Amino acid sequence: MKYQRLAAVAVLMAAWAGPIRADEPKPLPDDQFDKLHQLIKPQAGESRWMEIHWYPNIWEARQKAAKEGKPLFIWAGSGGAPAAGC
């Protein structure tokens, strides 16, 4: 369903036909810009891991967990903190 919504928005973006050089910068019309911005951002039901409040470090999360009497849930990634789909 969400793909259908995205596709519907995409149809309205007929003026964009790929990268162009910036030698003569030409801003996008407001309506095209807004639709493109919306198209790329997460839609309802996407990137659901972002619905969780992620503390950026162990210690701040530990302090919060101790204060509220809750366990920590740590998501660790290799090159960087996750909060992503991997």
Partner 1 sequence: MWTDASIKLIKENFIAAAVPTEVQDAKGPEGEFLRDAGIKKHWVTSSGYMSCVSASGKLLGGAPSAKVLEGFDKLPKDEREPGAVTVPDLKPAEKVIPSPPEGGLILKVHGRFMSRDDEGQLRAIKGDDFPQIRGKESSIRSHQFLFEPNTEYMWLTKEEWQSLVPAKPVKGDKLPVASAISERMARFHLSPRRALTSEDGIVAKKDIKEAKLTLVIDDVSPQRIRLLLVGFVHHGSDYDNDKATSPNGPLGFGYETPIHGVLEYDRKKEAFVRFDIVAPGEVWGRWGDANGKSQTIERPGRSPIGFAFELATGDSPTDRLPPAGNGGRALRAGYFGASK
Task: Write the CA distances from 48 to 14, 51, 58, 82, integer angstroms.
Answer: 30, 5, 22, 13
The least CB distance from residue 14 to partner 1, in Å, is 6
The least CB distance from residue 31 to partner 1, in Å, is 12
The least CB distance from residue 44 to partner 1, in Å, is 12
Binding site for partner 1 (CB under 8 A): 2-3, 6-7, 10-11, 13-14, 16-22, 25-28, 30, 33, 36-37, 39-42, 46-86
| DSSP at 47 | S
Question: In angstroms, rounded to a whole number, what is the distance separating the alpha carbons of residues 62 and 18?
Answer: 47
